[in-house]
Amino acid sequence: MDFIQKDIQDYSARHTAAANDLLEKIDRETHVNVLRPRMLSGHVQGRILSMLSHMIRPHRILEIGTYTGYSALCMAEGLQGDGELITIDVNEELEPIVEGYFQVSPYADQLKYLIGNAMDLIPTIEKGFDLVFIDADKVNYLNYYELILPKMNAGGFIIADNILWSGKVTTTPKSNDKDTLALIEFNKKVHEDTRVENVLLAVRDGLMILRVL
């Protein structure tokens, strides 16, 4: 993931608005107590998600892949007052930690946290999303995309994380590198999909932003 020069990353972070105290706490505690802390969106990407959410002013947000709740709380900052954010994760072990963060946030009443397989849960959720963030198992990115696209409001946005996959998408992956192969396929399919307009941002590990036409 660290394929962008560290001095550039540090400069970007220093010139990006600070996160609130709760987000800084989640960042610290995730790095100390939780496995694979690199899965956290982090400061700059978190501020990007917050900025995009403020610009979109969504009524309904769906997140696939909660981890420790950092990205959900970033996107919640732009929710309409009567808005709702639904976040899905398969990891039951993190549930008490995430619920604790959510309950002390200003958005506790607007957050709905679901534990289970997103492939099973997404079809049960009513349509009408303005913003969706995909940050879960890479081999299912296309499956998630196809499930959520019919549930998007016209003009809504889908954001997919880890699209550059530490630069591996620019290489010829081995046949057993399922994650890289899945992301290459995802990037190609959404780029060619006439139902959306896309831009790939070379931020952190890559963000694909799709606008539903």
Runs of H (alpha helix) within 34-94: 43-56, 70-76
Does residue 63 contact residue 158 with C-beta atoms inside 8 Å? no
Q: Look at residue 1 in the predicted model and tell me its pLDDT.
A: 59
Length of the chain in terms of residues written: 213
Look up the pTM and report it. Answer: 0.96
Q: Look at residue 201 in the predicted model and tell me its pLDDT.
A: 95
Cα dist. 75→38, 49, 112, 130, 177 in Å? Answer: 19, 6, 13, 12, 31
Domain segments of the chain: what residues? 6-212
Q: Look at residue 38 in the predicted model and tell me its pLDDT.
A: 86
Residue type, 34: V
Tokens of 58: 């969504």
Determine whether domain 6-212 maps to CATH 3.40.50.150: yes
Q: Which of 24, 28, 79, 8 is nearest to 49 (CA)?
A: 79
Helix pair angle (141-148, 178-192), 10° resolution: 30
Which conformational region is residue 154 in: left (phi greater than 0), alpha (psi within -120 to 50 degrees), or beta?
beta
Low-confidence ranges of the chain (pLDDT < 70): 1-3
Concatenating the DSSP letter of every residue in 120-181 gives HHGGGSPS-EEEEEE-S-GGGHHHHHHHHGGGEEEEEEEEEE-SSGGGGGGS---TT-HHHH
